[in-house]
Chains A and B, each alone.
Chain A
Amino acid sequence: MMETLLFRFTLLCLGLSLISVGGAPSILPEMHRQLVDNWGVITDRTFAESLALAQAAPGPNIMVISLLGWRVAGLWGLILASIGIILPTTVLAVGAGRVYARLMSAAWFPTFKVGLPPVVLGLLAASGVLTATLSVHNWFGASLTGGAALFAAFSRRNPVIALLSAAALAVLARQIGLIDLSQH
């Protein structure tokens, strides 16, 4: 029974990996539909908690799939989910990277290279705004977002400085009774 589940889950990861344009967000709805609604192997609550937990941990957002694997089938679930979600896209990326490198000598490549970034940069800012609408609920959170945006835009220093400062400021604000970000 467990082996069948593990096998099906690994297949699910391998398949969803290939349509995960933009990372985890694009495949989470289908993951939820299969794991919670169709298979009933984890609850809605566990699914939501795994999302929150993966958000709180550092690293690529696709790691939420590893965590779901752990919830579904323990250590083997975690290992197979990770491999299943990472391997197909990595192989594809290496192949695409080799084709891309070959094109570099083409006469039209410099123009191609200029045309690639604009849409991505718009999407990068959009993902910042989307995550902010989920995590920012008051003026204090908004000013942390704004401060971090200015830091990233104008400083060459490590972005982790902004993250640690914001976390420390939030704790400080709670301690002195200014505002409590843990409540909303």
Chain B
Amino acid sequence: MRGVWSLDSSNLSPKPAQLEQVSAQPATDTLEAANVSCANITSADLFWTFLQVGLYGFGGIAAIGRHMIVERRKWLNEQDYAALLGLCQILPGGNVLNVAAILGDRYCGPAGAFWAVAGLFAMPLLILVAIAGIYDQIADLPDVQAAIAGAAAAASGLLIGTSVKMMRALKLRLLALTFALIAFLAVAIFRLPLVWTLAVLMPLCLAATFWERRR
């Protein structure tokens, strides 16, 4: 059961040192192999990384989540992260929250999932409670309102820009770009419900990808 994760982590373009260690383990020695991947990425790493995702994730955590996991920690490459995000989108719950749970479990089992999710929520909850207490006093200050409005405008831009960056990095083909465009138009312009858009487009996109590859 556990061997799956170690096998999996060698699939995730890990740091060179990690790759060597994992491949040095016999594939049948599942417990040892699991310990190796856990020794490289600890629950503390997970907690600390997702703590920063939560702390810096103003106006949504998709942009900072990708930055920490792909650019900073290099836990996943762009393709693996994008695919995992795709899986997390069709599951209920916030996308990055699901990413935290899955990566936490992948590297350190259920305890890792717990620490990753706890890290994600620790600071934002404290901050939320703290500002809820003083919100009534500061919310009416024009400078505070201006700062929040400015950051909110930028947060929207970060979502759009992160999407563009990932599309560029993945070198999406025409077919894939078409599906991205249809999904965008359906939700942003035609305001169709997210669930229906996903239920229709996700199977179609997967089917079209298999069809394109087969030819």
Contact = CB atoms under 8 A, between A and B. Distances in A.
A174 B143 contact: yes
Interface residues of B, number: 108
A82 B194 CA distance: 23
A116 B73 CA distance: 23
B57 A58 contact: yes
B39 interface: no
A162 B156 CA distance: 11
A118 B184 contact: no
A24 to B, nearest CB: 7
B176 to A, nearest CB: 4
A62 B155 contact: no
Contacts of B206: 112, 115-116
Contact of A58 (B5, B124, B129): B124
A153 B158 CA distance: 8
Nearest to B113: A94
Contacts of A26: 194-195
A119 B186 CA distance: 11
- By secondary structure, the A interface counts as helix
Given A98-B4, A113-B83, A149-B161, A173 B121 contact: no
A104 B85 CA distance: 15
Contacts of B95: 22-23, 120
B125 A82 contact: yes
Contacts of B215: none
Given A82-B121, A89-B93, A130-B188, A118 B153 contact: no
Interface of A: 17-26, 49, 53-63, 66-67, 70, 78, 82, 86, 88-90, 92-94, 96-98, 100-102, 104-105, 108, 111-132, 135-136, 141-142, 144-154, 156, 158-160, 162-171, 173-175, 180-182, 184
Interface of B: 4-5, 7-8, 11, 54-64, 67, 71, 79-80, 82-98, 101-103, 105-106, 110, 113, 117, 120-121, 123-125, 127-129, 131-132, 135, 142-168, 170, 172, 176-177, 179-184, 186-188, 194-195, 197-198, 201-202, 205-206, 208-210, 213
28 contacts: A23-B95, A23-B97, A57-B128, A58-B54, A58-B127, A59-B123, A59-B127, A63-B121, A67-B132, A90-B97, A93-B101, A96-B87, A101-B4, A111-B210, A113-B79, A116-B83, A116-B85, A122-B182, A125-B160, A126-B184, A132-B156, A144-B154, A145-B153, A148-B155, A149-B157, A152-B161, A154-B165, A170-B151
